[in-house]
């Protein structure tokens, strides 16, 4: 089922057709507040009032022209300008291919550099999202280059990739901010762990390494997972090693296990919700379905009257 959904995410015909269908439009509302930035900010206001932090990501990837990349960059600059008047700032999380990584790596760097500077001036953070394995090295290298110029800069790393342990060791000297996620692309066995037990075991091992860096003030660490058992195991181990659960943040996607995220927040964990919005939601949505069987059941229920 996971492989089928990831194939559907890549299929051009389905990408054109399914988003027009009413049941698909109903189902996606579980994972995003709407397609406009106004709807995203309305969701942020509600989440902030509940005590949660917020990250924004405007959906889209693999653009075909630098003019499109410039338009995406302008959008995020506008978000930061609008956010400047809010008491609690949103953080922004962007896929490098949205800013032209496929087309012109230097243009992508300039956009990221300017956005990171703007975010820093606004008192918030700029994050690089991670995409498929074809982009991993380029994204890590981009982060390294930007990190020499910016403090409030984060990167997402994927626990199912076998190289991620080496990437963490590579980045730790720079005192990074890392959001550790499981991974949502269809990767070959030579590059990625394919079974859930293997992915969970690697996630836990990597998170404990990062927890040690967080405890000594050498990293900002965010657990980007909805797996409560995994979160509890990691935080219990971190505390047993002398750490504190407040040193580990928890990031979850908007609309998934929000009640549990609020419980974690009340227990002292710094918690945030990743709010996705925009019209280019199809591929992103299909990867969300592939991540959890419960998401598939919800989507299927939307077919019924």
Active-site residues: which are they?
A: 129, 179
CA distances from 159 to 79, 98, 184, 234, 253 (A): 30, 23, 10, 14, 17
Cα distance between residue 78 and residue 96, in whole Å:
18
Could you write out the three-class secondary structure of the chain?
Answer: CHHHHHHHHHCHHHHHHHHHCHHHHHHHCCCCCCCCHHHHHHHHHHHHHCCCEEEEEECCCCCCCHHHHHHHHHHHHHHHHHHCCCCCCCEEEECHHHHCCCCCHHHHHHHHHHHHHHHHHCCCCEEECCCCHHHHHHHHHHHHHHHCCCCCEEEEEECCECCHHHHHHHHHHHCCEEEEECCCCCCCCCCECCCHHHHHHHHHHHHHHHHHHHHCCCCEEEEECCCHHHHHHHHHHHHHCCCCHHHEEEEEECCCCHHHHHHHHHCCCCEEEEEEECCCCHHHHHHHHHHCHHHHHHHHHCCCC
Cα distance between residue 188 and residue 13, in whole Å:
24
């Amino acid at each position: 089922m996971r492989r089928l959904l990831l194939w559907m995410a890549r299929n051009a015909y389905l990408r054109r057709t399914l988003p027009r269908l009413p049941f698909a439009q109903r189902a996606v509302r579980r994972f995003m507040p709407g397609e406009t930035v106004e709807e995203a900010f309305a969701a942020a206001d509600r989440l902030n009032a509940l005590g949660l932090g917020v990250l924004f990501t405007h959906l889209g990837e693999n653009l075909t022209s630098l003019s499109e990349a410039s338009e995406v960059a302008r959008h995020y600059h506008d978000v930061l300008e609008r956010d400047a008047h809010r008491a609690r700032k949103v953080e922004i999380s962007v896929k490098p291919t949205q800013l032209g990584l496929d087309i012109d790596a230097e243009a992508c760097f300039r956009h990221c550099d300017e956005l990171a500077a703007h975010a820093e001036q606004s008192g918030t953070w700029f994050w690089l999202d991670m995409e498929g394995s074809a982009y991993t090295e380029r994204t890590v290298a981009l982060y390294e280059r930007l990190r020499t110029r910016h403090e409030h800069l984060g990167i997402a790393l994927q626990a199912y990739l076998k190289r991620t342990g080496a990437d963490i060791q590579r980045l730790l000297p720079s005192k990074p901010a890392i959001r550790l996620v499981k991974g949502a692309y269809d990767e070959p066995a030579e590059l990625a762990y394919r079974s859930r037990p293997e992915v969970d075991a690697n996630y836990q091992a990597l998170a404990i390494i990062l927890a040690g860096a967080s405890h000594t003030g050498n990293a900002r660490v965010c657990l980007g997972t909805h797996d409560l058992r995994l979160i509890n195991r990691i935080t219990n181990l971190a505390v047993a090693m002398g750490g504190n659960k407040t040193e580990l943040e928890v990031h979850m996607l908007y609309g998934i296990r929000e009640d549990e995220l609020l419980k974690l927040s009340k227990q002292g964990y710094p918690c945030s919700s990743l709010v996705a919005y925009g019209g280019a939601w199809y591929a992103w949505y299909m990867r969300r379905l592939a991540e959890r069987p419960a998401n598939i059941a919800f989507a299927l229920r939307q077919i019924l009257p």
